[in-house]
Amino acid sequence: GRTGYPRNRHWNMAKAANLGPAHSDGRTGWRWRWSGDVVLPDTVYQKNSFLFFTQVFNDPIHGHIELPPLLVKIIDTPQFQRLRKIKQLGGGYYVFPGASHNRFEHSVGVGHLAGELVKALRAKQLEEPSLNSESLINDRDVLCVQIAGLCHDLGKSYTVFQYYMHYIEDVRWLHHHEDASILMFDHLVDDNKLTPVMNEYGLITEGDNENDLVFIKEMIKGSVKNNSPLNEQLYKGRNNEKSFLYEIVANKQNGIDVDKFDYFARDCHHLGIQNNFDHRRFIVFARVCNVDGQLHICSRDKEMANLYDMFHTRNSLHRRAYQHRVKMAVEIMIKDALLKADQDQHFQIKWAKGKACRLSKAKKHMEAYTNLTGRGFEVWCLKLTTHLTFKTSEVVYTCTLFVLFVAKFDYGKNNEDPIRNYTYFYSKFNPTIGFKIKPEEVSNLLPECFSEKHIRVYWKRRNDKRLEDAKKFTLCQAYSNGGPRAKCGPEATCEWPCLLSWQKHRENAKNLFIN
């Protein structure tokens, strides 16, 4: 942050010239240069700092944000620039005309917010001299957290590709984008020879003791569920005294992290949906507290309503945009095209030195996966339909004529309340000790059920008499598996507690509705 900036101070050219480039105004961390009649500040840190000069980005959500030069070097790589070609909401752009934003700006925003939160936590740590010195946040920690926020979505591809990969057995283990992000981060560092550059900025890239590359990748992967003994080492990149740093970028404890802060604000802005959660207020009240011998990021007890607004916004976005029925229909059609294309020998992803691989093998070759973007997908589909082995008018189908899709809506923790069960708070009178909110302190207006599932049937042909058979089959399965109520219609809906049994009915469904 720009602490110490002298507001409304204007010096003339003569005074600036007398000051000289190597002088300061006595404020640690600032040096001045002149431009015309006004002296402009360059953000410069302490003499031995590795951050040096920052670069300013003009973001429509967060305004003017500053990123250190190492993050700019990462942004300027081909592996990161590919995010410009990947739509943030995938098929949602076919439903919401304004949802044209990409993964690139989201990643930059997360890197910025990660830095804002970790710096705010460090500032509050300095106000508490009683804290263990090993838990104090240093410059290396700040830079690593910013890099993890910037690179957390490196493994993302066109949204449907993630859905499609789940259907390919040998790459199903990479279905979660965090695994691909770690592989892509390694490829980015190696391909652009960034290891010596990171060393110049003070990062430790070798050895097992607090290796910063390991630390960054662990933060991308996300925090572990902390059910281990207090004396057990949770991570390799940092010791347990700094385990709270893993809750900033991808918080698996309660889902409150800067990734959601950015995409809630950014997606709502482009979708035209109101965002009731104020992430800036959360950052102001966040601090590191002791919870039963372990350090966690906690918020003020009075901020409980603001956090409930965050989870309500999450639920609303999933209902109105992320799992919109038309959006999912578009992505199902694209998934069918991908499955068809993966079987064709002419449909391959080319990469360096004339090498090529099938679509389903791309995640095993990061050079090929770099070319796997939404824009490239449109070009490939055009080539696919005009190739001699395909007829342009050919209709692409999977083995069945309908798709059963379960839309799940919750607050991120299935049917549990994430605030009451997984979030820690502190009080005004004891800001160093964290605690959970008591049940009697939670509002009576909250829902009793925090999760519901909608079963949808997507039929791939119009005016087909078998559509009614598909509806009846879906309702039959819903009732037979304990669904208390269901409604007949194009979208079958029920409260269905058991979803695993759908797998054993899929083969029966295929026999009923084979093309």
Nearest to 321 by CA among 86, 61, 96: 96
- Give the residue carrying structure tokens 């967060």: 62
In whole angstroms, give the CA distance from residue 363 to residue 175. Answer: 10
Strand-pair partners of 35: 38
- Give the residue carrying structure tokens 């009697």: 440
In whole angstroms, give the CA distance from residue 409 to residue 407. Answer: 7
Strand-pair partners of 350: 356
Catalytic residues: 175
Helices (H), 102-211: 103-125, 139-151, 159-165, 177-191, 195-200
**Residues in the chain, total:** 515
Residue 361, Cβ density class (10 Å: 0-12 exposed, 13-18 middle, ≥19 buried): middle
- Burial call 232-261: b when 16+ CB within 10 Å, e when fewer: eeebebbebebbbbbbbbbbbbbbbbbbbb
CA distances from 166 to 28, 171, 178, 460, 510 (A): 53, 8, 14, 21, 19
In whole angstroms, give the CA distance from residue 55 to residue 15. Answer: 26
φ, ψ at 465 (rounded to 5°):
-65, -20
